[in-house]
Amino acid sequence: MVGKVGLVTGTLASGQVGEVMLVTSGGSEAFHAYASNRDEVVPVGTRVLVIEYFPPRTVVVEPM
């Protein structure tokens, strides 16, 4: 998962869980997501890079 590029489908904001879509071997799947910078708001439609993965479905991302 680390290093994959995804698309924000649910806004990432401080203290809230957002959502990103990532390409997987079977198509694309939604993952719960947090922004790497807790003070940053990442709006829907932003491309992001996965920098950390917590199984089974949580990622930490940063905008590209």
Digit-coded pLDDT (tens) for 25-61? 889 999 999 999 989 999 999 999 999 999 999 999 9
Can you give the pLDDT at residue 6?
97
Task: Please tell me the predicted confidence (pLDDT) of residue 26.
Answer: 86
User: Cα separation of 15 and 5, whole Å?
Assistant: 23
Alpha carbon separation from 40 to 12, 45, 49, 50 (Å, rounded): 8, 15, 15, 16
Q: What is the pLDDT of residue 22?
A: 97
pTM, two decimals, is: 0.91
Q: Where are the domains of the chain?
A: 5-42+51-63
pLDDT at residue 15, as a whole number? 83
Please tell me the predicted confidence (pLDDT) of residue 50: 98
